[in-house]
Structures are given as structure tokens and as C-alpha cells.
Amino acid sequence: MSAPTNALKAALKRGETQIGCWASFADPYATEVLSTAEFDWILIDAEHSPNDLRTIMHQLQILEGKRSDAVVRLPMGEDWLIKQVLDAGAQSLLIPMVETAEQARDLVRATRYPPEGIRGSGAALARSSMFASRKDYIETANAEICLIIQVETRAALAALDDILAVDGVDAVFIGPSDLSVDMGYQGDMTHPEVRAAIKDALTRIAASDKAAGIISIDDDEAQEYADWGACLLAVGIDVLMLATTARAAMQRWRSRGGSDR
């Protein structure tokens, strides 16, 4: 038995738009609820959320067989951490703060078994091979890895053409918030210079053989990003969905004479 087919990777290669959502609760129950919306992909965030290897694994288990494909964002592109999360069953990774083609090439190598890379081959111990029941896992795993790198600084944009030339990178994802901070606009993603940089980057990525990705929780802005070439598009963040709905509910009842505390 081979490694499972990576539906997200295949869809991006066909140029199909894939709509996703951030999963930030670090809890499989919440991610299972989120999966009922049937997003194309759900990002299990370990960069800005309190996820660890075990909570990531539990969410991968929850999403297996669901309509939504799992993407794991790690806090950093360390070889040992990539190895662990791939062995836990991840096939699609988003790695933040990539600024050079050399970093991108190192990430490709970290996600591949030799001779293409340096991933350790103890797959018999891991759920990625279903504990050695997928007999051809090691031989077939490389082809099903989807590597998404996140560019979110001026240095990364300056190196974008070199990054786009790296074989093994499937998508390049713009980090608009960090980019705005690095450009000196402190989270103002609507600033004309930030918008111009995002538009230029998405256009260049879309013109390459990589998929262009970005996140926005504003529908009009997200549509604009799609018009600029984004096809790996995140349109929601679960914790903000809960917070926004809860606050709106209380505000409605407060305006009807409820508690002022």
C-alpha cells in the first residue's frame, strides 16, 4: 500500500482554487466541529496557537477521511520537527518566515526521504505508514508531500524569483500581517504600499508553476486577492469566528437592556 494521495497538492497542481480556514483552538473537538463546514483545507496552526505534536496528531486523526485536507503550520522549519509531524501523518506543511531560496531548498530536503532529502526513514514506528501496513510508504511518500512556504518580509519579496525557482515547493503563501509590520506599517494591511507589494507578489507567484496563497477574513479583500492570483485562500480563523459571534450576541442583548457589567 502506498502513501495516501494528497488531494490538496493535486488540486493546486490543476490550478483549482482551494478555500481554507485556520484551526487555532489546539483541540480536536473544535477542529471536528470546523470540519463540518467542509472547507477544502484546514490549517492546524502551531506558530501562534498552543499546539504541540500530540494535539497536532489528534487533529490529523480527526480530519482523516473528511472533506477538508489538513495543513500543518509549524513555528519554524527545523528538520527534527518536520520529521516528527510528517511521521504523525501530516502530508501538507506551511513553514513561516522563509526569506531565501537556500532556506526553501533546505525545507524541501527536510520533507523528503533520501536520495532527494534527509528525512529519517523510521516509518515503521509512525502512523504515517500506518505502522508499517503501508508497505510502499517510503517509496511513495515524497511525491505526496505538499510544501507551502510563507514569505512575509521585504527580504523574502526581494528573493521571491529565486524562491519560485526551487523544485519541490508547491505553493508560496504571503503573510500579510508580518509583511505590513516589516514594511513599517504595524499591521496596517490596507496601506497602499503594502497592498501594492501583496499584489505584485501574488501576481508573480501565480505566473510561476507554484500556487499563490494568502489569508484574509474580509470577504471583499479575499476576493481581491483571488483576482490577483491567489488560489490557496484562507477566509476564516476559528477563534475569531467564535469571538466575533459571541461578542455580537452579547452586544445585541446589552442594547436590549441587559447587563452593563
**What is the set of domains in the chain, with CATH numbers?**
7-255 (3.20.20.60)
Q: List, by residue number, the catalytic residues.
A: 48
Is 143 in contact with 5 (CB distance < 8 Å)? no
Distance between CA 15 and CA 206 in Å, rounded? 9
| Per-residue pLDDT band at 196 (split at 50, 70, 90) | very high
118-167 per-position pLDDT tens digit: 999 888 899 999 999 999 999 999 999 999 999 999 999 999 999 999 99
Tell me the mean pLDDT in the region 207-218: 98
Distance between CA 2 and CA 12 in Å, rounded? 21
Which residues does residue 92 pair with via DSSP β-bridges, in sequence order?
146
32-59 per-position pLDDT tens digit: 999 999 999 999 999 999 999 999 999 9
| Per-residue pLDDT band at 242 (split at 50, 70, 90) | very high
Q: In the structure grid, which three cell numbers stand for residue 230, read together?
A: 491567489
Q: To 5 degrees, how large is the angle CA 110–CA 112–CA 118?
A: 55
59-91 per-position pLDDT tens digit: 999 999 999 999 999 999 999 999 999 999 999
Is the pLDDT at 260 greater than 70? The verdict is: no
